[in-house]
Amino acid sequence: MYEGAPDHPTRSRIWEIAESYDVDIFHTSPTAVRQFMKWGEEHVEGYDFDFRHMTTVGEPIQPEAWLWYYKHIGDESAVIVDTWWQTETGGHLITNLPAIHDMKPGSAGRPAPGIQPAIYDDNGEEIPPASGEAGNLVIERPWPGMLQTVYGNDERFISEYWERFSDTDSDDAADWVYEAGDGAVQAEDGYYRVLGRLDDVMNVAGHRLGTMELESAVAEVEDVAEAAVAAREDAQKGEVPDVYVTVREGVEESEAVRDRIVSAIEREIGKFARPSEVVFVDDLPKTRSGKIMRRLLENISNGDELGNTTTLRDPSVPEAIRDQVQAD
């Protein structure tokens, strides 16, 4: 840990610190990785550091960002551990286990020992394991470190986390199922891929799509540094995606880049997911911890008033994006 911004006095500050103090474990967020990608690998090259263990935490990481992180920061030798957990869970519940499980770009991994996750549909029925079908991520049995209540409000504790998928009148712990509020899929190999908060899952022409799936497709375009997808209400499809994009340094915003983004989504997901708008922006609205606030982008796409911006690193960012969209 150090005090100050990652790009001051230079964009190589982190790697200078890693070299000076022989740092061998690096802990960061996908947002930071995408920022490093935007700056370019030239700011990493030439520094003598050797990480053996690297993590990503805070939000799902796109495969493209994972691979860049592995190649340019980990020198294709460091172990990358992605983790899924929440403040409420008290620790990691789904994670890659180095030397036991293979790494898989974009995947949070397998359940930690003793943890029993599952994917439920909206009716509370379990989706067949390893089916690759998206649904609600739940935990089916108690685990060490789990939350005990919401401070001063036991009823909210039950309604917020348990009521939807549990028999809350039962004294049997097996009848209580924890609702994480995240969407996820379990692939055929048993690995879980978290799609993000269910608020960030949209219904496009009958298809449930997570923002991560769409953003991962956009990340395949080399011109793109960061992308965030928001749902725009649509009379025919129900919802359609809007894509907000920052480009890498040295790349000019153009129709050609826009076309490559649209083509990537159509190729990776399907023509039904074609975005309504591709908006080039200077920055994306982020919290102080680096998470992208897609809710604000959804407000902008639908012409709604902006919600609370007090948790943002820079509250002027969504205002600038809104002014830009309205001017267009």
Kindly give, in sequence order, each residue whose CB lies less than 8 Å from that of residue 246, ignoring residues fewer than 6 positions away: 38, 224, 225, 226, 227, 280, 281, 282, 283, 284
Whether 154 and 187 map to the same domain: the answer is yes
Ranking 118-132, 211-225, 255-269 by mean pLDDT, the lowest is 211-225
Q: What percent of the chain has pLDDT over 90?
A: 70
Report pTM: 0.75
pLDDT at 289 over 80: no
Whether 320 and 250 map to the same domain: the answer is yes
CATH number at residue 214: 3.30.300.30
Whether 313 and 234 map to the same domain: the answer is yes
3-state secondary structure the chain: CCCCCCCCCCCCHHHHHHHHCCCCEEEECHHHHHHHHHHCHHHCCCCCCCCCEEEECCCCCCHHHHHHHHHHHCCCCCEEEEEECCHHHCCCCEECCCCCCCCCCCCCEEECCCCCEEEECCCCCECCCCCCCCEEEEECCCCCCCCCCCCCCHHHHHHHHCCCCCCCCCCCHHHCCEEEEEEEEECCCCCEEEEEEHHHEEEECCEEEEHHHHHHHHHCCCCEEEEEEEEEEECCCEEEEEEEEEECCCCCCCHHHHHHHHHHHHHHCCHHHCCCEEEECCCCCEECCCCECHHHHHHHHCCCCCCCCCCECCCHHHHHHHHHHHHC
User: Could you read off the pLDDT of 219-228 as tens digits, one per residue?
Assistant: 889 999 999 9
Confirm whether 276 is domain-assigned: yes
Whether 167 and 73 map to the same domain: the answer is no
Confirm whether 102 is domain-assigned: no
User: Could you read off the pLDDT of 16-49 as tens digits, one per residue?
Assistant: 999 999 999 999 988 889 889 889 999 999 999 9
What is the reported pLDDT for 90?
A: 94
What is the reported pLDDT for 311?
A: 85
pLDDT at 106 over 80: yes
With beta carbons less than 8 A apart as the criterion, state whether 26 and 51 touch. yes
Total tally of structural domains belonging to the chain: 3
What is the reported pLDDT for 4?
A: 83
What is the reported pLDDT for 59?
A: 81
What is the reported pLDDT for 140?
A: 96
What is the reported pLDDT for 29?
A: 87
State both tokens at 66. Answer: 């994972």
Q: Please state, in angstroms and rounded to a whole number, the distance separating the CA atoms of residues 81 and 318.
A: 32
What is the reported pLDDT for 57?
A: 86
List the domain range (segments joined by +) for residue 76: 1-84
pLDDT at 195 over 80: yes
Q: What percent of the chain has pLDDT over 70?
A: 100
Q: Please state, in angstroms and rounded to a whole number, the distance separating the CA atoms of residues 305 and 301.
A: 10
Whether 322 and 212 map to the same domain: the answer is yes
Confirm whether 312 is domain-assigned: yes
CATH number at residue 126: 2.30.38.10
Ranking 163-172, 294-303, 307-316, 318-327 by mean pLDDT, the lowest is 307-316
Whether 34 and 69 map to the same domain: the answer is yes
Final residue before a domain boundary, out of 166, 196, 226: 196
User: What is the arithmetic mean of pLDDT over 126-155?
Assistant: 93
Whether 42 and 75 map to the same domain: the answer is yes
What is the reported pLDDT for 308?
A: 82
Final residue before a domain boundary, out of 142, 165, 196: 196
Kindly give, in sequence order, each residue whose CB lies less than 8 Å from that of residue 324, ignoring residues fewer than 6 positions away: 279, 281
What is the reported pLDDT for 60?
A: 84
Average pLDDT, the chain: 92
Whether 209 and 192 map to the same domain: the answer is no
Confirm whether 51 is domain-assigned: yes
Whether 41 and 80 map to the same domain: the answer is yes
User: Could you read off the pLDDT of 227-243 as tens digits, one per residue?
Assistant: 999 999 988 888 999 99
Side chain identity, residue 178: Y
User: Could you read off the pLDDT of 160-186 as tens digits, one per residue?
Assistant: 999 999 999 999 999 999 999 999 999
| Kind of pairing between the strands at 238-247 and 277-280 | parallel
User: What is the arithmetic mean of pLDDT over 187-207?
Assistant: 85
Whether 316 and 212 map to the same domain: the answer is yes
pLDDT at 244 over 90: yes
What is the reported pLDDT for 199?
A: 72
Whether 280 and 212 map to the same domain: the answer is yes
Nearest in space to 322 (alpha carbons), one of 230, 256, 212? 230
Confirm whether 70 is domain-assigned: yes
Confirm whether 99 is domain-assigned: no
Confirm whether 213 is domain-assigned: yes
pLDDT at 290 over 80: no
Confirm whether 94 is domain-assigned: no
Whether 169 and 218 map to the same domain: the answer is no
User: What is the arithmetic mean of pLDDT over 61-80?
Assistant: 93
Final residue before a domain boundary, out of 84, 103, 135: 84
Q: Please state, in angstroms and rounded to a whole number, the distance separating the CA atoms of residues 128 and 218.
A: 29
Kindly indicate the confidence band of residue 321, based on its pLDDT and cuts at 50, 70 and 90. Answer: very high
